[in-house]
Amino acid sequence: MCCLSKEKTARITTDADTLRSEIRDKSIKVLDIRKEEDYKQGHIPEAINFPLSNLLADDSPDKVLQYTQSFGIEDETSVVVYDDTFGALASRVAWTLQYIGHEDVSLLDITYGAWRRLGLETSIEMPSLNKKTHSLKLQPQILAAADYLMPAKEKGAVLVDNRERLNFLEHHIPGAINIPYRMLGSHQNILRPKEELKRLIQNRNISTGSEVITYCGSVGTLSGLGYYALKSIGLDNVKLYVRSFKEWKSLDKPIEKQSDANYWDLSAE
């Protein structure tokens, strides 16, 4: 039984063709994470607007549950999330739904911009919403809090910083390794093909059995994408330090940096 439910959550991404047929079958709920004004100008048909800022204003489980129910999402409903920001914002929402216990959520494997460039259907109509009931089953095993990090690292967990290289060099959580979010996507898709991601992880000697904790700058978006990149290649024990480096700094925790080098001056911007 446990295995069956795992099988079901294994869908990390959904491709455009599948999404289109599921929209036609009305077997799916689609969440658009972009700003309201962008959504109003056009979105994937049947998509419900859920701007990331709404989530970030209050991401307590109760509030998230309220949203979920108001969107008409039941425990068994398939949910696909998309954004226009290389999948990072969508990842943060998908992860949050999983955290409150919604298993069947996946990321559209392209951005809304790519969807449009492919000439796929868009709509300006807002779908009607019928409130449904959803249970609350928190999944603490996918969340990492600040105090969890160092003890876990002591026991062999790998800390992954998904910010850009220069930000990482400037300061990061001690012992973290850097996998910039730019490494995770491809020209076309929000995530590289699995065999490429596997190679990147193998090059770093990270095994599929490792516990990995991802974090980024402030709200867990870039590291949300990092979370799903690792999940997509079969790592089971991945956690998101959702409050990320912003909280870590505010708690005056120890910080590591690459010192005595002026790498910022290599930037042409």
Partner 1 sequence: MSKTSLSQSKPDNLPKPKINWAKVEEAERFAEMVKLFRQGKINRDDFRRFRLQNGAYGSRMTDDYSMIRIKIPAGEVYPEQLEKIAELSESFSIGNAHVSTRQNFQLHWVALEDVSEVMRGLSEVGLTSREACGNSIRNVMCSPLAGICPDEIFDPTPYAIATARFLLRNPMNQSLPRKFKINFTCCEKHGMARIADIGLIPYKVEVNGKLQNGFKIFLGGGLGAQSFVAHQLEEFTPEEDLLYTIISVVRVYDRMGNRENMARNRMRYLVNEIGWEKFQNIVLKERAVVRATQSVVIKLEVDKTPEVLRKVSISSELPSHPQGFSRWIKSNVMKQKQPGYSVAFLTLESGDVTANQLRVIADLARDFSAEGRIRNGFAQDIVFRWVRDEDLPKLYAGLLEVGLANPGSLTMASVIGCSGTTSCNLALTNSHRLAKEVQRKFLELKLDEDDDLRSSTIKISGCPNSCGQHEIATIGFYGGGGRLGKDMYPLYTMQLGGRADEKAMLGLTCMKVPAKRVMPTILKIVEIFKSEKRDGETLDSWVHRVIDGNGGPNVKSLNDIKESLKSAVVAPTIDQDKDFYVDYGNDGSYHARTGRGECAA
The secondary structure element, H or E, covering residue 28 is strand 28-32
Give residues with Cβ within 8 angstroms of 60, minimum separation 6. none
Neighbouring C-alpha atoms within 13 Å toward the C-beta of 191: 30
Binding mask 116-145 for partner 1 (x = CB under 8 A): -xx---------------------------
Among 63, 132, 165, 249, binds partner 1 (CB under 8 A): 165
Among 41, 60, 205, 207, binds partner 1 (CB under 8 A): 205
- In Å, how far are 89, 179, 266 from 227, measured between CA atoms? 12, 11, 30
- In DSSP terms, 212 is beta-bridged to 158, 238
Question: Identity (one letter) of the amino acid at 265?
Answer: D
CB of 205 to partner 1, least distance (A): 6
Query: Which segment (74-82, 86-94, 96-104, 199-207) binds partner 1 by CB under 8 A?
Result: 199-207
Question: Identity (one letter) of the amino acid at 154?
Answer: E
Query: Which segment (21-29, 49-57, 111-119, 153-161) binds partner 1 by CB under 8 A?
Result: 111-119
Give residues with Cβ within 8 angstroms of 9, minimum separation 6. 98, 103, 104
Among 200, 210, 217, 253, binds partner 1 (CB under 8 A): 200
Query: Which segment (26-34, 74-82, 161-169, 207-215) binds partner 1 by CB under 8 A?
Result: 161-169
Under DSSP, the state recorded for 71 is: T
Between 236 and 263, CB nearer to partner 1:
263
Between 134 and 231, CB nearer to partner 1:
231
CB of 230 to partner 1, least distance (A): 15
Query: Which segment (47-55, 81-89, 201-209, 229-237) binds partner 1 by CB under 8 A?
Result: 201-209
Question: Identity (one letter) of the amino acid at 72?
Answer: G
The secondary structure element, H or E, covering residue 44 is none
- In DSSP terms, 14 is beta-bridged to 108
Is 261 a binding residue for partner 1 by CB under 8 A? The answer is yes
Among 27, 126, 137, 193, binds partner 1 (CB under 8 A): 193
Distance between CA 160 and CA 222 in Å, rounded? Answer: 11
Is 171 a binding residue for partner 1 by CB under 8 A? The answer is no
Among 25, 37, 154, 265, binds partner 1 (CB under 8 A): 265
Alpha helices in the chain (DSSP H): 2-9, 16-24, 36-40, 52-57, 61-70, 88-99, 112-117, 146-154, 165-170, 194-203, 222-232, 244-250
Is 207 a binding residue for partner 1 by CB under 8 A? The answer is no
Binding site for partner 1 (CB under 8 A): 15-17, 109-110, 114, 117-118, 164-166, 169, 177-178, 180, 182-183, 187-189, 193, 199-200, 203-205, 258-269
